[in-house]
């Protein structure tokens, strides 16, 4: 993934194993904070994160037409900000990537999965709030 430096706006390539780390800009040496927003995941990014993540991963399976998914999206963003450096939050569009949803038996959305070391720790369907999402991730640590 390429992230822009918050100071000089230079592009910096960050591998999935470092999404939860604080790094340095390759140009100005400013701190690159951990990823603090949900990442839209295609199968390649999803698999890379599963293979390399050193922290728990929260996955939000959703679709653009889903009303409850739209309602819960700000909660997922709040959870991602709160979990920066302690977890990675991925969003998987089930319309675009149905095979990813099928891997986890997703039959209703929104559907949340917490993974640790590539293994499912928890899975829940239905809308929820940021505090609950954070507590689910905390249970995976």
Catalytic residue among 5, 25, 28, 69: 69
Distance separating alpha carbons of residues 111 and 62, to the nearest angstrom:
7
Give first-to-last CA distance, the chain, whole Å: 25
Classify the C-alpha dihedral 95-97-98-103 as positive or negative. Answer: negative
Catalytic residue among 5, 8, 25, 66: 66
Find the helix or strand (DSSP H, E) in which 45 lies: helix 43-52
Residue 69 among the catalytic residues: yes
Residue 66 among the catalytic residues: yes
Catalytic residues: 66, 69
């Amino acid at each position: 993934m390429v992230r822009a430096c918050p100071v000089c706006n230079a592009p910096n390539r960050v591998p999935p194993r470092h999404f939860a780390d604080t790094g340095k800009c390759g140009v100005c040496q400013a701190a690159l904070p951990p990823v603090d927003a949900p990442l839209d995941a295609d199968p390649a990014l999803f698999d890379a994160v599963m293979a390399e993540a050193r922290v728990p991963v929260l996955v939000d399976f959703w679709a653009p037409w889903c009303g409850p998914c739209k309602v819960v999206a700000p909660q997922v963003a709040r959870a991602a900000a709160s979990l920066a450096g302690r977890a990675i939050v991925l969003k998987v569009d089930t319309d675009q990537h149905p095979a990813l949803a099928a891997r986890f038996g997703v039959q209703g959305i929104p559907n949340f999965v917490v993974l640790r070391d590539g293994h499912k720790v928890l899975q829940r369907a239905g809308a929820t709030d940021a505090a609950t999402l954070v507590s689910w991730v905390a249970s995976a640590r």
